[in-house]
Amino acid sequence: MAVVQTGRRMEEGWGRRFPVSLRPGEAALYEGLREAVPIIDAALQKIVRLTSGFHLVCGDPGGQAFLDRFRKEIPVGAGGRGLDGFLSGYLMSLLTYGSAVGEMVLSPAGDRIGALYLSDLGDLELRCGENPLEAELLLAGPGGGTPLPYPELVFFSALNPEPGQAAGRSLLRGLPFLSSVLTEIYRAMGENFRRIGALRYAVTVKPEPGTDAGTIADAVAREWSGAMAASAQGEIRDFVAVGDVEIKVIGADNQFIDTQVPVRQLLEQIVAKTGLPPFLLGLSWSTTERMSRQQADILTTELESYRSILTPVAEKICRMALDLAGLPGEVEIAWESISLQDETEEANARYTNARAALLEQELKKKEAEG
């Protein structure tokens, strides 16, 4: 195996002796972000749905029929079924935590793939190999990680790992600070509504000189409370008082702080991190037709990069299934077009190029004849 010259060997390093958990330390924070900021969870769900959509292609007819059944019927976890669902969960783990691990579980007889299992990253540890090109998955335990007995049945993917690192980085990296500011704004809005939204009244009585102010105040308070209680029951009841009485709404002079600008600025940063056009998340920000088309092109590029990570995983699973079944043929993952709009534009571009080439040929022919 090739030896990396620019990377430190790990025989004596801490990375070799002490494996690290594959579940990132900020995993709970990322999960909390998805719960606290619904637009983040919606963005991840839309990325997964837009990325999915494929069919398996095998040159052997028997292998093709087998793969079609395998894709629909393979059990996934405790209650799922289908290769599509497994890859969706695999991609969700990749986006949320930066890493994903899956396992092909063989049948008791070992003659076929009995199920697919999406591993919990908290149950696994990652240890660097003898050189930076190697990484070993270990099963976490109280006495230290233990090597997996059948590592060839396990596959691991990382999203945008840092140079020299094996574990990936979450798509949500960089969002905790922005999300904390956004949730603080929403929390302040809720507090303001609780303080100002439910109207409270200040009743001021200025009794005449020489009268019992306490008795008058008690009588006004009883009448006011009775009028308010009757209004709560749908009864219209007037409030009658004698003397100089002034009624004001507490907090009526205060106004809510305009939060549209800061909230939009924060949402713009969050949406930019996900790579999705705003209109896919229900944000009605004004965009031109040309800008929307450019955003769709950028989204297509983002989704193609996720598909390039999922393709080796799906191919490994399908090749193993064919080998165990004793069927010949290579398998190919044919992804569906991301949108009909992209396919139409490509067809129009090919038509325009073909027409231009035909006109050039006719012009050259006329020049040759003339």
Among candidate residues 191, 185, 193, 196, the one with its CA nearest the CA of residue 260:
185
d(C-alpha 305, C-alpha 309), whole Å: 7
Backbone angles phi, psi at 184, to 5 degrees: -65, -40
* Mean pLDDT, rounded, for 274-282: 77
* Mean pLDDT, rounded, for 178-202: 75
Radius of gyration of the chain measured on its C-alpha atoms: 33
* Mean pLDDT, rounded, for 93-111: 91
Bigger pLDDT: 97 or 251? 97
3-state secondary structure of 247: strand
In terms of C-beta density within 10 A (0-12 exposed, 13-18 middle, 19 or more buried), how is residue 232 classed?
exposed
Most confident of the following: 314-323, 347-356, 359-368: 314-323
Asked whether residue 254 carries a pLDDT value surpassing 80, the answer given is no
Do residues 322 and 329 lie in contact, with contact meaning Cβ atoms separated by under 8 Å? yes
Reported as a pLDDT band with limits 50, 70 and 90, residue 340 is very low
Residue 13 confidence (pLDDT): 45
Which residues, in sequence order, are bridge partners of residue 332? 57
Residue 309 confidence (pLDDT): 92
Residue 352 confidence (pLDDT): 83
d(C-alpha 225, C-alpha 113), whole Å: 73
* Mean pLDDT, rounded, for 44-62: 89
Reported as a pLDDT band with limits 50, 70 and 90, residue 18 is low
Do residues 47 and 306 lie in contact, with contact meaning Cβ atoms separated by under 8 Å? yes
